Amino acid sequence: MSKRLILIRHAHRDTDEPGKDNGLSGKGNEQVKRLLKFASDRLDDTDPMFISSPKKRCQETLGPIAKMTGHKMEIDERLTEHGPTESTSLYLARIDEFLDHWKFECPDTTVVSSHGDWIPIAVQRLTGAKIGLKKAGWVEIEYAGGECFLTWIVQKV
C-alpha cells in the first residue's frame, strides 16, 4: 500500500496588520490561481482529503483547491504554526501526532495547507530531508513499505 501526503505552504498573506489572522494578499490570490492549475494535474484520478491549519491564509490557499475537486476541507489545530507560549516539545509532539494520524487514518491522498515553520519540520521528521519552502510551495511525500520518501518539491508553481 502506498499513500501520498501533499504539503502546501500558504500563499502570500496580507501584512497590513501583522498581528491579525489576515487572509491572502493580491499576490497570494495570484499564487492560488497558479496552484489550482498545478493541482488539477497532480490530483487527477484521486479522491483526496483536504486538511488546513485554522489560520485564514491557509484556508484561503487550500479551500479553492478542495472546491475545484468537489471536496470539503477540514480544519486541524495540529497544523498551526508554533505558538509564542507553546513549548518546543509540545509543538513537535503535535506535529508527530498529526503525521501518525496521516499514516494510519487518512486516505491514500491527503492535501494539507500549513506554515513555513511546520512543513520543514514535518518533512524532516518523515524523510530526514532538510528543506525550506517558499510561500505557495508544494511538497509531496510517499509512504510505502513503512518508509517515507520525498518525491516532489516545487518552490514556484
pLDDT, one tens digit per residue, over 116-128 is 999 999 999 999 9
Cα(2)–Cα(32) distance, rounded to whole angstroms? 28
Q: In which residue are the cell numbers 488539477 written?
A: 40
Residue 104 burial by Cβ neighbours in a 10 Å radius (0-12, 13-18, 19+): exposed
Quickly name the fold that domain 2-148 has. Answer: Rossmann fold (3.40.50)
Specify whether the CB–CB gap between 132 and 154 falls below 8 A.
no
Cα(94)–Cα(56) distance, rounded to whole angstroms? 20
What was the pLDDT predicted at 121?
98
Cα(91)–Cα(86) distance, rounded to whole angstroms? 7
What was the pLDDT predicted at 157?
83
Q: Report residue 4 CA to chain centroid gap.
A: 12
pLDDT < 70 stretches in the chain: none
pTM value is: 0.96
